[in-house]
Structure 1
């Protein structure tokens, strides 16, 4: 169960990062509220998962999911560069996250 919560928390990290960008420095209400809610839920899920998963592994997986998710949203929805080197780097992050789970 801890791993499922950790993955969901990583996805929520993507949500709060995108909402933070869309909040325009907290000047827009809806994205600011989405940021606050998803941030709290993401942190709470990470805290829950760390009760069973070592902090080094759990935090790295959480950050990896959030980083890759945020970069993918940027590339697919926000017109950021989707160059081959960026995609290869994201695949390396994914490989690292999978490795941390496999060798846990």
Structure 2
């Protein structure tokens, strides 16, 4: 079996172990010194309740509608988790891909 063929059969979780072993940052939380303010969470919470939120980005949808997205602490944690998993998955694909192509 050639080295390229062996690379195709590597398990991505082996590379993920190396990536996850780096120090993982903590998600933002109210009272951490970031710019939290009272507002409405745009994500998975009750959209009508004002609470401590933080700006996470802008959105633009067809029809030229724009908005400033804010999220509460729990939704920031969820976004952080999804982003972390996506990032480490992409890194694993890159690491395994490079090993398989050498």
Under a length normalisation based on structure 1, what TM-score does the superposition of the two structures give? 0.28
More strand by share: 2
Max radius of gyration: which structure?
Answer: 2
More helix by share: 1
Under a length normalisation based on structure 2, what TM-score does the superposition of the two structures give? 0.28
